[in-house]
Structure 1
Amino acid sequence: MRSTIGVLLAVLITPLAQAELIDEIADRGELRIAVQADNAPYSFKENERMTGFEIELGQDLAHELDLRAEFVEATAAEVLPGVESGKYDVALTPPTELPANDGPFDVSLPIGEKKLVIPFQKDNPAFESAVNNALQRLKDSGRTAELEQKWFKGVPQTAAGQ
């Protein structure tokens, strides 16, 4: 009996027993998305409202996940540490600021011609699957191409983060 209780306690306090990120987000009902407010055409303020490619993509992604999008303005230095700590669920980050593959993040499949990826906390396979499936639906519907055309048409590759 004592060994059974010990085993149960050990299982409960291991990282594998922690709640999956997708469950925490679903309970909250919103996807917290870190964006930079001064990073046109990705995200920027226009008439005191956030707009840009990342804002529209984030809204579409949250909608595909049956969640509300909650955009949180962050500096470039705050974005990835905020994702790692759980302050933000995801970051929509220009390709020049992507985390290393061996870092503390997992990332989505590349999005569109710009090859944008979405970093999130490592070891959350259900969340990764949900995000990738949602992104695939957006791609299949033509929405990601539509957003790229809208926000990056005529923008030189270097100015658009590559």
Structure 2
Amino acid sequence: MRFLPGLILLLPLVSPLAQAELIDDVNDRGELRIALEADIAPFSFKQDGRLAGFEVELAELLAQELEVHPSILVTDRNDLLSGVESGKYDVAINHIALTPELQDRFDFSEPYGYAPAQTLVRQEPPRPSSTLEKIQDQLLGVAQSGPFVEHQSLVVVADKQPVAQAPTPDQVVAMAIPFQKGNPAFQASLDKALQRIKADGRLEALSQKWFGVAKDRP
């Protein structure tokens, strides 16, 4: 028993190192903070002053499966991924392509959709040169063809003006949900929620509703 006081004294030094898991924060708040741009139909857009689209409804289903309220927050490209990185948003559901470059910055859910794509280079707001070099030619997202959009495109970040390039016929990209690294319990909960939505046909029904075809598998 002589060492017990010493152990007690160590507890204040150890406890600050423990970091709450994202799933605990989400449950404590009772809401999932979801960032999207709401500027590309049929993914997410405003219709008669209200949010609509495939990813809006997917966000609502995921929050329902997690038993929390969906707090859907409209933002722009400047803030979308940096907001997830900083913890301002829990996730981004914004037709984001699952790429090695982004996997260096975020953990991801399992894919919720797949899309053929042609390459589009677009300019991202300026960042420090070291950061810009790291994300050169980084895939960010997908804007698919559908009832409300004109072109298929795989979005690539580069320090260039937008230039359309020829599509690769067999190119398929996976769309997934990024969140802060180091949250395995949240990842497991999110993946299980997605799996339930896939298993009972709700994800396929959403895809059929907004795209006219199933896009939940390659």
Is the structural similarity TM-score above 0.5? yes
Q: TM-score, normalised by structure 1?
A: 0.85
Query: What is the correspondence of 1:1-162 to structure 2 with a 5 Å cutoff?
Result: 3-5=6-8, 7-14=10-17, 17-96=18-97, 100-103=102-105, 105-114=106-115, 115-153=174-212
Q: Which has the higher strand share?
A: 2
Q: Which has the higher helix share?
A: 1
Q: Residue by residue, what CA displacement relative to the aligned partner does 1:117-147 show, whole Å, maximum 9, x if unpaired?
A: 0111111111100000000000001111111
**C-alpha RMSD over aligned residues:** 2.0
Q: Residue by residue, what CA displacement relative to the aligned partner does 1:25-76 show, whole Å, maximum 9, x if unpaired?
A: 1111111100112121111000000000110000000000101101000102
Q: What is the identity, as a one-letter code, of the residue corresponding to 1:30? A: E
Whole-Å separation in 1 of the counterparts to 2:186 and 2:97: 24
Q: Residue by residue, what CA displacement relative to the aligned partner does 1:68-116 show, whole Å, maximum 9, x if unpaired?
A: 101000102211111111111110021348661111x110001133432
Whole-Å separation in 2 of the counterparts to 1:102 and 1:113: 21
Structure 1 unmatched runs, 5+: 158-162
Q: TM-score, normalised by structure 2?
A: 0.64
Larger Rg, first or second structure (1 or 2): 2
Whole-Å separation in 1 of the counterparts to 2:97 and 2:28: 33
